Amino acid sequence: MSVPEDEERLLPLVQRWPRASKFLLSGCAATVAELATFPLDLTKTRLQMQGEAALARLGDSARESAPYRGMVRTALGIVQEEGFLKLWQGVTPAIYRHVVYSGGRMVTYEHLREVVFGKSEDKHYPLWKSVIGGMMAGVVGQFLANPTDLVKVQMQMEGKRKLEGKPLRYRGVHHAFAKILAEGGIRGLWAGWVPNIQRAALVNMGDLTTYDTVKHYLVLNTPLEDNIMTHSLSSLCSGLVASILGTPADVIKSRIMNQPRDKQGRGLLYKSSTDCLIQAVQGEGFMSLYKGFLPSWLRMTPWSLVFWLTYEKIREMSGVSPF
């Protein structure tokens, strides 16, 4: 039965526009998590770019003269050679990206869970449905956010280009968007979208699926209630699984998005994500796919912890039911 228009105006905003409210709430939670853990993301990206075998074809000396080795030395090198605040270089497009990405994936996952697949009467949600829902949510969220992710990755590498004596490509976030759009058109903003959504599908299968499954298992099968302890345990598990599943795709995604391009916007190093994968394994070994795993895990775990604790809390404060 529909609610009369006068009564609808008196309802809280979260009840009048539930999906929009959840989109904004998840975006706020993601912003807090991004600011708290961004230096680890920058460190991870720098590590993933080191020793790129494909650069040898272009005669680039960066592969032989990589100045950093390991997570701690990479972070210290950035601070010593570029400045402390450079640990947050690229944080603005990262926040843009996570507002769109987190909002899209959370709204999609909950819609699939509550409307499309549906829970059973005892609140049980089968794992296979959660896996499909998590992967689909990741694909939708990441496809929408790809332009901001592209700018974030390229701006994170600007400090390294300066140290190597190369000219900086962008003056700021908006200049980066404008330049990429001018050089590659609308299609250029979605460069690397295939490995991007592949990574997002794996990460969200690890993050959303693990968090949802572990949380409801603990609530339904242990003395634990739906509180901060349950949220913390679930988010720690989701961060670990997401890192294990997502790091190889993250390495491929970062390399494809950061590679030099011709005037038509085509990559000069890799033809596709599969080509990048083959070149990485053949030229650097299988473990090159896990470059940056430690900072990725150390970043993913606190990011997941901060995000889920913040998201659950602001949902509670806003009168929205728990995730």
What confidence tens digit (pLDDT) does each residue in 38-49 have? 888 888 777 766
Q: Over 60: is that where the pLDDT of 68 sits?
A: no
Mean pLDDT, residues 133-152 taken together:
91
pLDDT of residue 20: 85
Which of residues 235 and 69 earns the better pLDDT score?
A: 235
User: Please, are residues 39 and 87 in contact by the beta-carbon 8 Å criterion?
Assistant: yes
How sure is the predictor about 306, in pLDDT bands with cuts at 50, 70 and 90?
very high
Q: What does the alpha-carbon distance between residue 317 and residue 214 come to, in Å, rounded to a whole number?
A: 23
Domains of the chain by residue range? 198-291
CA 186 vs CA 21, 177, 180, 191, 274: distances in Å:
29, 10, 9, 9, 23
Q: Over 70: is that where the pLDDT of 6 sits?
A: no
Q: What does the alpha-carbon distance between residue 46 and residue 172 come to, in Å, rounded to a whole number?
A: 19
Mean pLDDT, residues 207-231 taken together:
92
Average pLDDT value over all residues in the chain: 83
Tokens of 226: 């739906």
DSSP state of 114: I
Please list the alpha-helical segments (H only) found in 157-227: 158-163, 173-188, 193-221
The 10s digit of each residue's pLDDT in 232-291 is 999 999 999 998 888 888 888 778 877 777 776 677 788 888 888 898 898 888 888 888
Per 3-state DSSP, the chain is made up of helix, strand and coil in percentages (nearest 5) of 75, 0, 20
Tokens of 90: 């690229």
